[in-house]
Amino acid sequence: MGSKTLSKSSGLPPTPACPDNLSSIELSKNSSDVLTRRYLRRGSDGKPIETIKEMFWRVAYHVAKVESEKEEEIQKRAIAFYELMSSKRFFPNSPTTLEETSARPIFWRDVSISPINLSMSAADTGRFAQAV
């Protein structure tokens, strides 16, 4: 694990190695266990072939790859997506994450982002009540 590129040796899309300057990821033991069990790529022996940080990078890279064909732009966007994920401000849903462990390309059909107004002022509460 670490500095090498995860390759297509098992039919999975290749992912460049993580840049050295990526933020660390603070997760609870339970979160780490779930990510390890469900989302880390595994070798033919069934053991993980990547770390959680590499998994975050892999998903961020392939999400960014959909946005551009230029490697320089892909890297910039991937770092931005990685920072959103590692800071816990954005997580793709499970189908998106799972598709990034397969040989299939990522599809946005399951990704939706909705603005949420968290204000509880009287005016906002009144609009909410009218909408319901």
User: Would you say residue 111 lies in a domain?
Assistant: yes
Mean pLDDT of the 101-108 span: 48
Predicted structure pTM score: 0.67
Predicted local confidence at residue 99, as pLDDT: 52
Structural domain contains residue 2: no
Query: Which residue range(s) make up the domain with 91?
Result: 8-131
Structure confidence at residue 51 (pLDDT): 94
d(CA 3, CA 51): 11
Residue 108 lies in a domain: yes
Q: Provide the domain count of the chain.
A: 1
Indicate the residue type of 95: P
Question: Is the per-residue pLDDT at 118 higher than 90?
Answer: no
Are 81 and 96 in contact by the 8 Å Cβ rule? The answer is: no
Predicted confidence (pLDDT) at residue 112 exceeds the cutoff of 60 = no
Residue 104 lies in a domain: yes
pLDDT the model gives residue 43: 86
Q: How far apart are CA 114 and CA 96, in angstroms?
A: 17
User: Is there a domain that residue 40 lies in?
Assistant: yes
Q: Is residue 119 part of a domain?
A: yes
Q: pLDDT tens digit string along 44-94?
A: 898 999 999 999 999 899 888 888 889 889 999 999 999 998 998 887 766
Pure H helices in the chain = 29-38, 52-67, 71-86, 94-99, 122-131
In a domain, 13, yes or no: yes
125 in any annotated domain: yes
Residues sharing a CB contact under 8 Å with residue 119, sequence separation 6 or more, in sequence order:
none
Give the gyration radius of the chain's Cα atoms.
18
Q: What is the pLDDT of residues 8-49, one digit of tens each?
A: 455 677 889 999 999 999 999 998 998 898 888 888 898 999
